[in-house]
Amino acid sequence: MRILVLGADGYLGWPTCMYFANRGHEVMAVDNFNKRKYELEIGVTPLVEIETLHRRIDIFKEVTGKQIHLRVGDLCNHRVIYKIFDEFKPDAVVHYAEQPSAPYSMRDRASAYETQYNNVLGNLNVLFAIQQYNPDCHLIKLGTMGEYGTPNIDIEEGYLEIEHKGRKDTVPFPKTPGSFYHLTKVHDSNNIMFATRIWGLKSTDLNQGVVYGIETDETKLHKGLATSFHYDEIFGTALNRFCVQAVAGHPLTLYGKGKQTRGYLNIIDTLQCVELAALNPPDAGKMRVFNQFTEVFSVTELAELAAKSGKELGLDVTIEHFENPRIEMEEHYYNPVHTGLPELGLKPHSLSDTLVDSMIKIIKENEERIRKELILIGVKWKGGK
């Protein structure tokens, strides 16, 4: 297959490029390096030192003998993505190319605007590129479980069967996103659903849970093939933060009551999910939705697991409660359905089996690069200027 990966420099984008290329697919990587610009703007750095995308592609070819094509360009410039589709003619496009952080989107007006502009309009240009140059191309779009929020009913996979005043219908599942970032994913889903229905496209919306893990089979081939791992408050996840805090001797920062519950999956399982979606496309005119996660944890359960894993390595780990900077329900019902990907053959890894080897040991090896001042930056959901 000819696979186009948008956002190829990112945490998931780079391993995805290597994963498909290593399995014999022809891969083109596209990025405008906005994420690196955001990191410079805020002053944060990944824990593990990351080579440029150009250099990583060169190293990958040196190690495997396989070529990943590279294009540098901004999806918000429609001419860029039109030219790429016209020349490369992908069978599938894996779309990660969006500002990925809820805290970044809530910093201030400028960050919220950048998130909405980059994410929504870039995705819209991708849809028009598919429609004009390759309508048979399968769009695999990274969404988020955060689109749904925390409703007091089971979260179905994208759609909900309802009965109202004696009539029945299937409608998109109600969305209650918790940040301007999550809101862009809702806008994306609506635009993809509309374009798929009107233009007869093929699309898969991957509503992904929180991803953890630092290594994949391909990143292990050479230290220069590492992907980014953030532990700061802006681009790092709660689990990333807890694991780094455990190694650094910093109390684990548990926000609020710690009962906020979400879905999680290993980065290796993310690659499985994207591959399963690519190899099993939907029919034309259908937007398929997969809830992409393998386990559900509360924030307290994550902290306790990180503390237990740290203590197994002889670390002195404590947990402290901090004021929650986010505006969210801290006690809620959470029962999301996830049947589509397991039915296609997903074989998940468990967090308890992989946390020490996949994260904490690697963090320990890079302990000297930990910057404690980045752990709590102070973004609050109450709004900025």
DSSP secondary structure letter of residue 58? H
One-letter amino acid at 349 equals H
CA distance 277 to 346: 10
Establish whether 181 is a catalytic residue: yes
| Closest to 141 (Cα-Cα) out of 96, 111, 196 | 96
| Residue 324: exposure state from Cβ atoms within 10 A (0-12, 13-18, ≥19) | middle
CA distance 40 to 38: 5
Active-site residue, from 16, 115, 141, 144: 144
Active-site residue, from 185, 196, 216, 264: 185
Active-site residue, from 19, 181, 212, 231: 181
Half-sphere exposure of 63 (CA within 13 A, CB side): 19
Name the helix (H) or strand (E) containing 22: helix 13-22
Phi, psi of 346 (to 5 degrees): -60, 130
Largest CA distance in the chain: 64
Name the helix (H) or strand (E) containing 55: helix 53-64
Report in angstroms the alpha-carbon separations of 203 from 154, 193, 286. Answer: 24, 8, 7
Establish whether 37 is a catalytic residue: no
Q: Are 221 and 63 in contact (CB under 8 A)?
A: yes
Phi, psi of 327 (to 5 degrees): -100, 105
Query: What does 101-138 look like in DSSP terms, one character per residue?
Result: -HHHHTS-HHHHHHHHIIIIIHHHHHHHHHHHH-TTPE
Which residues are catalytically annotated? 144, 181, 185
